[in-house]
Amino acid sequence: MIKHFSVVMIALFLTTPAMAAGSDVELQKLDWSFSGPFGTFDKAAMQRGFQAYREVCAGCHGMKLIAFRNFADLGYNNDEIKAIAAEYEVQDGPNDDGEMFMRPGIAADRIPLPYANDNAARASNNGALPPDLSLIAKARGNGPDYLFSLLAGYKDAPEGTAVPDGMYYNAAYPGHLIAMPQPLYGEDVTYSGGADDSIEGISSDLVQFLMWAAEPKMEVRKRIGVAAVFFLGVFVVVSYMAKRRVWADVH
Amino acid sequence: MRPLLPTLFSAIPYVGESIVTLLWGGFSVDNATLNRFFSLHYLMPFIIAGVVVLHIVALHRFGSNNPIGIDTKGPQDTISFHPYYTIKDVFGIAVFLLLLAMVVFFFPNAMGHPDNYIPANAMQTPAHIVPEWYFLPFYAILRAVPDKLGGVLLMFGAIAVLFILPWLDRSPVRSARFRPLFRIFFWLFFVDAIALGYLGGKPAEGIYVILSRVATAWYFLHFLAILPLLSMFETTKPLPKSISEPVLKETLKRAPPLGAGLEPAE
């Protein structure tokens, strides 16, 4: 029975590559701090990633599922979160006169979006819609590696590849022609403390931040998982010994 | 993916379109479609409950099967359910939970698609539509046939053929343990089904189409030709006289004994 079961499990995992997006791009494989069963997020990198998101990405990409209070996960305390939120202007209302008004953000607000709606976003970006980044790290195959390769993948088009106006050549993008202009050139963000501000350095900070945004509870999931697997492992051994003892008089 | 199902009926000649309209409750997938398919799925648990009752009735009437595939001859052939099978099932469940926990906690997205994290957009379908993994073998069969009606018929036929299995495999020997040729073909069929699942997830082009045609042909060949022929011509090994016969003690030392009742004789 066990032999058959393991065969079926192996078969299931063999069929899963069917789900991976098939394309002609080579992704750079990085060793992320959050991969593996004991993986955790790098808080300092996430804070830098948020800074880079705010100063570079947020001009076009919203993160509508993330509220300022969620930044507690990044290692900010309440006062710091309130200070960050207050730097944003948030629309509220209607007031007693029926008018909408702007006020400084509070911890409970979501990060304000760069565009009022999709049409406004398209109108400002040559008809291309910048996707929301809240879940982007899980909404692409091999999300973290893909995002890193994409951000660091802007290159001159090879001989014979025609790049139309408003499109850019990217080694990691499926089809290689992407509507997003190169976002990072290195030294785009001034990090306090002298962290790596090359294209690769900022990209990997952004990936830490975006992976956290896509799955804020990942560390808890893995922590519970280790405990659950340990408990069940002991349970398997004990129940096998009990089974052996009960069946001893039959054999 | 669910709206795919009614559209399959449009392959039926003459009345297909009307049947689809009937199933949709309109001329396109709409609220009415959602309502009726929701009620259909709500009905499923009750059907399953009914089948469970049938299962228990059959179990009490005919007893459990066993990997040897021969009937019990008396009390020396049987053991009580408790504690023997309860404790064995506890072990089996523990192993299953361990594997499940690994998938749930460390690979929660292994069977999913990145597309599921993109908000639904009625104006834009994903680039590659792939069914859930458990439908992939049948999806491969559907796509292997160039004709729409033929593909749909074969896909449903792949399930329907299981219902006439007792008339296809007429071998008097129930267990594969005593059917050496059947064993070989069983594992070939196993590989074939996995291959179909793999091919179902691949784009329908080039070598994948040819391979899925071969695999589909083998799927039906196995049921419609190989099984009937095997039961006619195969030389089986001699059956033991009873489950408790000494010859069986040899088998028991090698393999896990008497499967947990629910395991069918291959």
Q: Give the 3-state secondary structure of residue B42.
A: helix
For residue A214, is pLDDT > 80? yes
Is the sign of the CA dihedral B182, B184, B190, B191 positive or negative?
A: negative
Q: How far is CA A176 from CA A140, A146, B6, in A?
A: 15, 13, 37
Q: Is A229 on the interface with B (CB under 8 A)?
A: yes
Residue spans of chain B under pLDDT 50:
1-2, 247, 257-266
Chain B residue with Cα closest to A242: B87
User: Which of A193, A194, A181, A207 is CA-nearest to residue A52?
Assistant: A207
User: Which of A203, A222, A217 is CA-nearest to residue A145?
Assistant: A203
Question: Which of A14, A132, A247 minimises the CB distance to B84?
Answer: A247
**Sequence-distant (≥ 6) Cβ neighbours of residue A108 within 8 angstroms:** A67, A68, A69
| CB burial string A197-219: b at 16+ within 10 A, e below | bebbbbbbbbbbbbbbbbbbebb
Q: How far is residue A206's CA from residue A183's CA, in Å, rounded to a whole number?
A: 12
**B28 is annotated as an active-site residue:** no
Per-residue pLDDT tens digits for A132-175: 999 999 999 899 999 999 999 998 888 888 888 889 999 999 88
Phi, psi of A226 (to 5 degrees): -60, -45
* Contact: A236, B128; criterion CB under 8 Å: no
Please name every residue paired with A169 in a beta bridge, in sequence order, or none if there are none. Answer: A177
Residue A23 is predicted with a pLDDT of 52
Per-residue pLDDT tens digits for A98-134: 999 999 999 999 999 999 999 999 999 989 999 999 9
Distance from CA of A236 to the nearest CA of B (A): 5
Per-residue pLDDT tens digits for A179-194: 999 999 988 899 988 8
Indicate which of B81, B84, B89, B91 best probes the interface with A, i.e. most A CBs within 10 Å of its own CB: B91
Distance from CA of A251 to the nearest CA of B (A): 8
Q: Which residue has the tokens 């069914």?
A: B131
Q: Does domain B131-235 have CATH number 1.10.287?
A: yes
Q: How far is residue A154's CA from residue A168's CA, in Å, rounded to a whole number?
A: 8
**B250 is annotated as an active-site residue:** no
**B89 is annotated as an active-site residue:** yes
Boundaries of every domain in chain A: 24-66+110-239
Residue B252 is predicted with a pLDDT of 53
pTM of the model: 0.79
Per-residue pLDDT tens digits for A12-59: 444 444 344 445 677 889 999 999 899 999 999 999 999 999 999 999
Q: Mention the CATH class of domain A24-66+110-239.
A: mainly alpha
Chain A residue with Cα closest to B91: A239
Residue B77 is predicted with a pLDDT of 80
Q: How far is residue B219's CA from residue B188's CA, in Å, rounded to a whole number?
A: 10
Residue A251 is predicted with a pLDDT of 66
